[in-house]
Amino acid sequence: MAAVLAPLIAAPLLWAEDEAETGSEYLERIELRSVASLPGITLFSLHDPENDATFWIEIGETRNDLAAVSFDSESGLLTVRHGESEREIGLTNRRVIFAEGDDGEELSRREARREALEQRREEWREFRERWEAAAEEDDDIREISNHFEELRGEWRDLRRDMRDVDRDSDEFEALRDRGRQLRDEQRLLNRYASQTIANHPDFTEEDAERANRVMQGINRRRGR
């Protein structure tokens, strides 16, 4: 635990752009698979066939180094930007445009949720693979992983013990105090892990944001 609580030393993020590929070359292979117009938001499903990656994006957002600039609903063309290059992308024949109020609105919403959920799962699987690979080489990440495993075991034991005692007993109150201590320890470890990811060259800014969202969710669930 002492190593985990050591002072954080900020390290610059290392970003390496693939010099062999220009922004326009990257944009040329991007496909627009579907457009989902939902109440208050329009989502665009983009596909990178070279990396076999599909992701949802909205206007003004940047994902995978690609920014969604504007969308012309009449022509069905989405303008995207990568670096200094821009391109207009039309829909492939996989999906139609669902507009708000159309009969397809609910189907569009379900499809968007399904694909967004699958995308998050795939992104998390990829992040876990990078995390496990980094843990083999980096002592700090390996110790963080071990500490997470220890905490998971302690939470599991605590839940089991709390089910087996009278809620009005002193023993139950002692277990609740232990839960508060575990929550504080979890928050501190989450904060340290997030900072470590943000400063590690093997992880991207999106990795850090994704891990932080997951850890905040864990804190909320265990804070109840």
Domain end call among 85, 116, 147: 116
Q: Do 168 and 109 reside in the same domain of the chain?
A: no
Q: Do 112 and 150 reside in the same domain of the chain?
A: no
Q: Do 27 and 110 reside in the same domain of the chain?
A: yes
Residue in the block written with tokens 């665009």: 44
The token pair at 36 is: 């989902």
Inside any domain, residue 9? no
Q: Do 143 and 90 reside in the same domain of the chain?
A: no
What global pTM score does this model have? 0.45
Residue in the block written with tokens 């804070």: 223
Q: Do 97 and 150 reside in the same domain of the chain?
A: no
Sign of CA dihedral 45, 205, 21, 133: negative
| 80, 28 contact by CB (below 8 A) | no
Pick the more confident residue, 56 or 222. 56
Domain end call among 83, 116, 149: 116
Inside any domain, residue 10? no
Tens-digit pLDDT profile for residues 192-203:
888 888 888 888
Given a cut of 80, is residue 181 above it in pLDDT? yes
C-alpha 10/C-alpha 193 separation (Å) is 13
Question: Which residues are 55's β-sheet partners?
Answer: 46
Lowest mean per-residue pLDDT among 43-52, 102-111, 211-220: 102-111
Given a cut of 80, is residue 223 above it in pLDDT? no
Tens-digit pLDDT profile for residues 104-115:
555 556 666 677
End-to-end CA distance of the chain: 25
State whether residue 33 is helix, strand or coil: strand
Q: Do 89 and 167 reside in the same domain of the chain?
A: no
C-alpha 4/C-alpha 19 separation (Å) is 37
Q: Do 85 and 45 reside in the same domain of the chain?
A: yes
Q: What is the pLDDT of residue 98?
A: 52
The token pair at 136 is: 């083999």
Q: Do 93 and 143 reside in the same domain of the chain?
A: no
C-alpha 64/C-alpha 94 separation (Å) is 22
Q: Do 111 and 35 reside in the same domain of the chain?
A: yes
Q: Do 187 and 102 reside in the same domain of the chain?
A: no
| 194, 211 contact by CB (below 8 A) | yes
The token pair at 214 is: 């997951």
The token pair at 9 is: 């030393």
Give me the number of domains the chain comprises: 2
Q: Do 69 and 32 reside in the same domain of the chain?
A: yes
DSSP-assigned letters across all residues of 66-127: EEEEEEETTTTEEEEEETTEEEEEEB-SS-PEEPTTSTTHHHHHHHHHHHHHHHHHHHHHHH
Residue span of the structural domain in which 205 resides: 138-222
Q: Do 107 and 145 reside in the same domain of the chain?
A: no
C-alpha 204/C-alpha 14 separation (Å) is 9
| Amino acid (1-letter code) at residue 114 | R
